[in-house]
């Protein structure tokens, strides 16, 4: 039988009446046997070997154990539901968003992956490393150095390693803490996407508008909600008093406070027939962060909104004051072409299209950044061509205070006693 099989595999050459020799046939059979045994050993046997599997039995808890204003300890209850004992690696990997990095991609949409520039640290597991089969116990992970701690209102992820496997906290957002045992003035219990305000100087402003830059240096938000575009039949949009937000039952411009949780708010109702656009969370991280260009390349060629040349857009940006004291700052605005400006629902100023006003930073107004949430609202109207909007905060007497302000995207609807 063996000889017949090998005669089929190795046909006889013409004129040769003999098959392969018994010696070669034996060698081939031994090789096939060894190969089959190797397959069983390396592939089949491991399938029956036990494997450890960790699952989280409670929510992760991030705490500030030394009350220095930064989180340094993570705890959670883990359960080994596998069929093999697990030993955790002592070192856990901590990934945190850098304070100067943009948080999201420009065209952010809910349920899409968050893109970050991150730094990686090593924390130490100080609890028991061994999890026997079907055992549940708390894991405690602590920062190795003060410089590796997680700050307030920031995105982080912690990865626990065990052998060749790992488990992760997933992308989380740290809460607000003061570091002195006290509570935030509004005691927020919601989650944020946060970013520092962008430091701006005349040299870093667009060449189109830098000639009238209102101060030596200031700060701008780059996290915006854009509600637009509302096109009008007239080129002179500064003469058009139509407020499409108000006409479509969304309240006055200064009263409407969008947030990520209702990013599709404008997709329903008659407002859609005017715009074709949904409410857009926008992270401005182009050539000139802080200057949002809707159309054209004069103000920021790297911005990619590319809306039509004529239209109206409402812009909303949340500024969070984490201190307990109100903060008076100056604010100036530059919009091509016409604009209206509100802060915390208070109307501040308006400007129309003029021969030179479209590229000019307007005269400053003093506003108060209250403890907790503040909202800046801009109505920008374009009559044709390039189109942009930007605001600047500064206070030469309290620069250090301004640097503590945070530009945030609330995930659920924020509330404030001021609007």
For residue 114, the domain's CATH number is 2.60.40
> What backbone torsions phi and psi does residue 386 show, to the nearest 5 degrees?
-65, 155
CA-closest candidate to residue 240, choices 346, 389, 379: 379
The reported pLDDT for the residue numbered 112 is 37
pLDDT tens column, 176-188: 554 444 444 444 4
The reported pLDDT for the residue numbered 115 is 41
pLDDT tens column, 375-387: 999 988 887 788 8
Whether residue 49 lies inside any domain: the answer is no
**Domain total of the chain:** 2
The reported pLDDT for the residue numbered 220 is 95
Whole-angstrom distance, CA of residue 50 vs CA of residue 69:
44
Contact 383, 337 (CB under 8 A): yes
Please determine, for residue 59, whether its predicted confidence score (pLDDT) is greater than 90.
no
Q: What is the CATH number of the domain that holds 365?
A: 2.60.120
Confidence of residue 122 (pLDDT cuts 50, 70, 90): very high
Same domain assignment for residues 312 and 387: yes
Contact 300, 291 (CB under 8 A): yes
Same domain assignment for residues 133 and 280: no
The residue among 98 and 182 whose pLDDT is bigger is 98
Whole-angstrom distance, CA of residue 163 vs CA of residue 291:
48
Please determine, for residue 114, whether its predicted confidence score (pLDDT) is greater than 50.
no
The reported pLDDT for the residue numbered 170 is 76
Q: 350 by DSSP, 3-state: which?
A: strand
Question: Do strands 54-56 and 91-97 pair parallel, antiparallel, or not at all (unpaired)?
Answer: unpaired
Number of helices and strands (H, E) in the chain? 6, 25
Same domain assignment for residues 131 and 67: yes
Looking at 173, 208, 235, the residue that finishes a domain is 173
Residue 90: CB atoms within 10 Å? 12
Please determine, for residue 102, whether its predicted confidence score (pLDDT) is greater than 50.
no
Confidence of residue 128 (pLDDT cuts 50, 70, 90): very high
Section 212-220 average pLDDT: 92
Please determine, for residue 139, whether its predicted confidence score (pLDDT) is greater than 80.
yes
Same domain assignment for residues 205 and 104: no
Whether residue 358 lies inside any domain: the answer is yes
pLDDT tens column, 237-264: 555 555 566 565 555 666 667 777 655 5
Range of the domain at 326: 192-410
pLDDT tens column, 401-418: 888 898 988 776 777 777
- Tracing tokens 């006290």 back to the chain, one arrives at 182
Looking at 111, 141, 173, the residue that finishes a domain is 173
Contact 191, 118 (CB under 8 A): no
């Amino acid at each position: 039988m063996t000889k017949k099989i090998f005669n089929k595999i190795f046909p006889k050459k013409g004129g040769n009446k003999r098959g392969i020799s018994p010696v070669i046939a034996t060698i081939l059979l031994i090789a096939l046997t060894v190969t089959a045994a190797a397959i069983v050993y390396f592939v089949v046997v491991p399938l029956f070997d036990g494997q450890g599997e960790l699952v989280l039995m409670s929510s992760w808890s991030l705490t500030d154990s030394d009350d220095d204003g930064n989180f340094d300890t993570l705890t959670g209850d883990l359960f080994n539901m596998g069929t093999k004992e697990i030993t955790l690696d002592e070192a856990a990997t901590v990934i945190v968003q850098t304070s100067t990095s943009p948080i999201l991609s420009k065209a952010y949409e809910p349920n899409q992956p968050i893109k970050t520039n991150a730094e990686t640290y090593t924390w130490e597991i100080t609890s028991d490393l061994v999890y026997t089969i079907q055992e549940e116990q708390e894991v405690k992970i602590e920062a190795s150095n003060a410089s590796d701690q997680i700050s307030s209102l920031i995105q982080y992820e912690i990865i626990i390693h065990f052998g060749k496997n790992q488990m992760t906290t997933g992308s989380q957002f740290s809460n607000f803490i003061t570091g002195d045992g006290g509570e935030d003035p509004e005691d927020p219990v919601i989650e944020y996407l946060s970013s520092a305000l962008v430091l701006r100087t005349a040299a870093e402003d667009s060449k189109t508008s830098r000639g009238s830059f209102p101060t030596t240096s200031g700060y701008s938000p780059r996290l915006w909600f854009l509600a637009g575009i509302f096109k009008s039949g007239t080129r002179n949009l500064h003469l058009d008093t139509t407020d499409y937000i108000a006409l479509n039952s969304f309240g006055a411009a200064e009263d409407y406070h969008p947030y990520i949780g209702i990013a599709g708010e404008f997709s329903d109702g008659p407002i859609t027939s005017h715009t074709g656009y949904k409410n857009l969370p926008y992270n401005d991280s182009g050539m000139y962060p802080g200057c949002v260009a809707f159309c054209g390349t004069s103000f920021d060629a790297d911005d990619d909104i590319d809306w039509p040349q004529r239209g109206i857009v409402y812009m909303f940006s949340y500024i969070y004051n984490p201190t307990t004291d109100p903060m008076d700052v100056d604010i100036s605005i530059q919009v091509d072409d016409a604009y209206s400006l509100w802060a915390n629902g208070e109307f501040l100023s308006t400007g129309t299209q003029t021969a030179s006003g479209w590229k000019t930073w307007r005269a400053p107004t003093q506003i108060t950044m209250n403890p907790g949430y503040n909202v800046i609202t801009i109505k920008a109207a374009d009559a044709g061509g390039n189109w942009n909007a930007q605001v600047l905060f500064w206070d030469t007497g309290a620069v250090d205070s301004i640097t503590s302000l945070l530009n945030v995207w609330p995930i659920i609807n924020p509330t404030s006693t001021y609007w």
